[in-house]
Every structure is written in C-alpha cells, then in structure tokens.
Amino acid sequence: MVTYDPRYSTWEQWCSLMAELFAPQQLGTVPEEQWQEWGAGMIGIGYFSESGIPDPRSYNNWQDWASALVGILTIVRQ
C-alpha cells in the first residue's frame, strides 16, 4: 500500500490524500492551521493508536510530523 510522502505536497494535498487512503477511519480534512488537532485526533482512532504514531504536538511543523508518521505506517502496513 502506498503511503504518501509529504515532502513534495502542500498540507491540503497531503491531508486530502491521507483522508482518501484511510477513508474507513473518517479522518476528513482540515486547514493547515489545524494540522496538530487533526493529527492528535488520529491518536484516538484504534488503527492509528495501535500503530504507535507520534504525537503531532511535539513537532513544530506538519512536514516533520508527517514524515515520521509515514515511516511508521509504511512499516506497520507491510
């Protein structure tokens, strides 16, 4: 399964792709200003909490958090 690399995307593009990829988890999309809240919401969803995704509130920007998230999800999904 492809997990989208955030390095070449805007927040809007990456968030939309992730919401589509994980549609059963009903992530939805939010504006970039709310990226930490969006990411924190993922922690409460069983699939993601069981994957050990990092808390976005410990990151200064969404790209760094998303890169860490993608690395974890790529390993978990294999």
Q: What are the pLDDT tens digits along the chain (78 aa)?
A: 456 778 889 999 999 998 998 888 888 999 999 999 999 988 888 777 777 788 999 999 999 999 888 777 655 444
| Domain map (residue ranges) of the chain | 7-77
In sequence order, which ranges of the chain are alpha helices (DSSP H)?
11-21, 35-43, 46-51, 62-77
Cα(9)–Cα(40) distance, rounded to whole angstroms? 20
**Amino acid type, 27:** L
C-alpha distances (whole Å) from 68 to each of 1, 48 are 17, 13
How many alpha carbons fall within 13 Å on the CB side of residue 73?
Answer: 21
